[in-house]
Amino acid sequence: MAVFDTGPIDNRDAPRTTQLTIRLFNTGRLPALVGIEVYQINPPGSGFGNETFYVLELIPLNPLNAPDSSYTLDNVFADTDVFGVRVLTSGLGANDIAITVLEKDSVGQIIEKHVLEGELARIQELLFAYVTNEGNDTVTVINTVTNTILTTIPLPAGSDPVRIAITSDGSRAYVVNRGTPDSVMVIDSATNTILTTIPLPAGSFPVGIAITPDDSRAYVTNQFSDTVTVIDTATNTILTTIPLPAGSSPRGIAITPDGLRAYVTNQFSDTVTVIDTATNTILTTIPLPAGISPRGIAITPDGLRAYVINSGTPDSVTVINTATNMILTTIPLPAGSFPFVIAITPDGSRAYVGNFGDNTVAVINTATNSILTTIPLPEPSGIAMTPDGSRAYVTNNSNNTVTVLDTAMNAVIATLPVGDTPFGIAITPILLF
């Protein structure tokens, strides 16, 4: 989030401002949400005390060169002694908004022009990374602004937490526990305490989780029972269970941005199951080459492609066209890579693949589907991207740390100690006010 402010404008002298025009323009490649506040200071003064807000507008702005990338708020009343304009920007493109405020007189002539390009005030979004520590049954919470440990949440002994997903409003984290008993724990992110525990059938061995974009359901893959559990997040109860063919061994799961389909990787049957989330039935099954052993999966932000990591023979990444559910291409990885986890940047330009076998993270250019670079890290087991895509947080299973990568340079900028055998990781989203 960024906050821009004209500060108090003294309007007691002639010529007097009676109206404003406020122009917004998104100069970047990512969408944003912009709030406009026009306020009166009464009694007049130089501070921000005794503000009265009389204009409040909330406007979504699309990226540059797209329709609705600009907005003009015209004829805003400003015939007061002391007033000001404050603009708050949020979302992925929050830092790319150009703002112009025009003071006008009673006949519409421009008296003063304010270009709010300086950082009068900038508020960093409070983003937190949640790390599941399989070895000591805890969840570590990292403040991504300062890259420090905020707190550690203890789970019951024997929980064996693996993957984690966070709701789009950032209020809850859903933790998959494949220990005893099999369960999904819901963490309240405001208090970082366990809100409730959702039991799963004994012997399920849950390993993967994804939440629908509207936060209404969580989908959990159960490796041993060959099922997908659907959880109603309003009641935190099991809505239904979707059976997969015997011997499937489902692991990874990803949901399309429109929420209409869930893609499940089946490690032992070398397939990807596509689930219709409206009916919670199998829509189709995509066969992969025998012995390829698919594990993780991620879908591009535009929903057009699914990237599947294969830890069998050969080590590779399969790219699926989600419109046709056909294989588009296969990206080879070095032999022995044993790819384990994947995450895609918010702009969809790169995929980060954690390779458990050769201790690397491979960065894939999704435009060419080729490897851009390789970053050495100790047994990467989980990857999460910050909402602006500037950093990747990687859990390192073998040395109990989380590495922070600068995605512009693909370089390590911090290493943080966490709990024993860190596995999954998820980051709270940018909140649009």
For the chain, what are the domain ranges? 2-115, 128-427
Residue 49 has a pLDDT of 44
**Are residues 165 and 175 in contact, defined by beta-carbon separation less than 8 angstroms?**
no
Under CATH, what is the fold of the domain 2-115? Hypothetical Protein Tm1070; Chain: A (2.60.290)
The three-class DSSP label of residue 96 is: helix
The answer to whether domain 2-115 and domain 128-427 are alike in fold is no
Residue 432 has a pLDDT of 43
What residue has token string 């979302």?
Answer: 91
CA distance 357 to 335: 9
Residues 294, 299, 305, 311, Cα dihedral to 10°: -20
Residue 89 has a pLDDT of 87
Q: Which residues contact 119 (CB under 8 A, 6 or more apart)?
A: 2, 4
The three-class DSSP label of residue 129 is: strand
Mean pLDDT by 10 residues, the chain (433 residues): 81 89 89 88 52 75 88 89 87 85 89 72 66 98 92 97 93 94 95 96 97 96 98 98 98 97 98 98 98 97 96 96 98 96 94 97 97 96 92 96 96 96 92 47
Residue 290 has a pLDDT of 96
Both tokens assigned to 98: 């150009």
The three-class DSSP label of residue 94 is: helix
Which amino acid is located at 38 in the chain?
Answer: V
Residue 1 has a pLDDT of 65
Beta carbons within 10 angstroms of residue 357's beta carbon: 16
Residue 2 has a pLDDT of 76
CA distance 403 to 407: 12
Which CATH code is given to the segment(s) 128-427? 2.130.10.10
Distances (CA, A) of 315 to 51, 295, 398: 61, 11, 21
Residue 93 has a pLDDT of 82
Beta carbons within 10 angstroms of residue 312's beta carbon: 18
Residue 252 has a pLDDT of 98
